[in-house]
Amino acid sequence: MKLLVPLAAVFALCAGGAIPTVPGDNSHYVEGESRYIWMPDGEGVPRLVDLQEPVEQKLLETRNGANNQYWLYTRQNPHNPQVIVHNNANTIWNSNYNGNLPLKVIVHGWNNNGNSPMNPLITAAFLAVQDCNVIVVDWNELANGLYTFAVFGVPGVGQFLGNFLVWLINTAGGDWNNVHLVGFSLGAHVVGNAGRTAGGRPARITGLDPAGPQWGGNSLALTSNDGLYVEAIHTDGGLLGIFDPIASANFYPNGGRNPQPGCWLSTCSHGRSTELFASSVRTNHFVGRQCSNLDEAENVQCSGSILMMGNSIITKRGAGLFGLTTGASWPY
């Protein structure tokens, strides 16, 4: 993996400005203009990313959505996944997959994998409140490389996931009205492309702080048309996440920007979306109030109608901007 290593006291000028030298400090960053940004790796350690790093197209031919792995968790196997292989029906029959139960799908972001903390956190939350199938998508072969490379690979990862879900439901049963896709950061755009590939049939899609760098105005980003109900939880808008309301319902906890309560680095604010969602699945206690505009959302001045943020309710519906406040530590 090619990552920039900061050199102390060096401010080398470049097309997008100076190379920032304080790990995790994105105060320099201007969306759509800055060349460099700090992003967390799979352990939460800030890494400096060059948003203009060229993409090796030949590598995309071998590292693409065909490398996706699909790990099934159920109440019968809550900790040890069963791998389902696309187009291999025996891997379904030999698993605990039950087409009569709801299906939850979780997709990680850049520099993560199927074992990254967000996956067991959200999986455990789903299984605690509902008997369901949970599929964790591991796309680490694309995700664990240059950020720009991962961005280029997102549409393909999503298309392969969408085709996998169509095959799974057609082969072993299931109901699109019971399908909930959840994606974090780049994973939010992955599930958007998956829903699009499946004809917008998933009942619900949740984007957890959808990735911002290189996604503003990108036609391949998560949209409100990718499922029957699409929501986004914005926690680091304008930095690692998109601030614009790209979903049907857009939640802006604590203003939707860095810093979130209890966070000292912007990389923390980005990942906070996964923790807020897991907590909401277990307790459903985040009361969103509708906002008249983005200024109200950013300044937490919303007092309109109520829509709960997050949770696991598959029939949830709503549209608009919603603001709320949370605590600084679990369960927030």
pLDDT of residue 289: 98
How many distinct structural domains can be found in the chain?
A: 1
Q: Is 270 a catalytic residue?
A: yes
108 is catalytic: no
Quick check: is 213 in a domain?
yes
Q: Is 28 a catalytic residue?
A: no
Model confidence pLDDT, tens digit, residues 69-89: 999 999 999 999 999 999 999
**Spans of the chain, pLDDT less than 70:** 1-17, 266
DSSP string, 83-99: EEPTT-THHHHTS---T
Percent of the chain with pLDDT over 70: 95
Range of the domain at 212: 57-324
> What gap in Å lies between CA 244 and CA 22, rounded to an integer?
27
> Do the domain assignments include residue 44?
no
Establish if 222 belongs to a structural domain. Answer: yes
| Residue 289 covered by a domain | yes
Say if 21 falls within a structural domain. Answer: no
Residue 31 lies in a domain: no
Cα separation, 17 vs 261, in Å, equals 29
Residue 187 domain flag: yes
Q: Residue 211 carries which DSSP code?
A: B
Residues 50, 270, 273, 279: which is the catalytic one?
270
- Compute the distance between CA of residue 144 and CA of residue 150 in angstroms, rounded to an integer: 8
Q: Which of 138, 209, 236, 244 is catalytic?
A: 209
Residue 31 has a pLDDT of 87
**Assigned domain for 5 exists:** no
Residue 326 to residue 161: CA distance in whole angstroms:
33
| CATH code of 255's domain | 3.40.50.1820
158 and 190 in contact (C-beta within 8 Å)? Answer: yes
Q: Which of 34, 95, 116, 185 is the catalytic position? A: 185
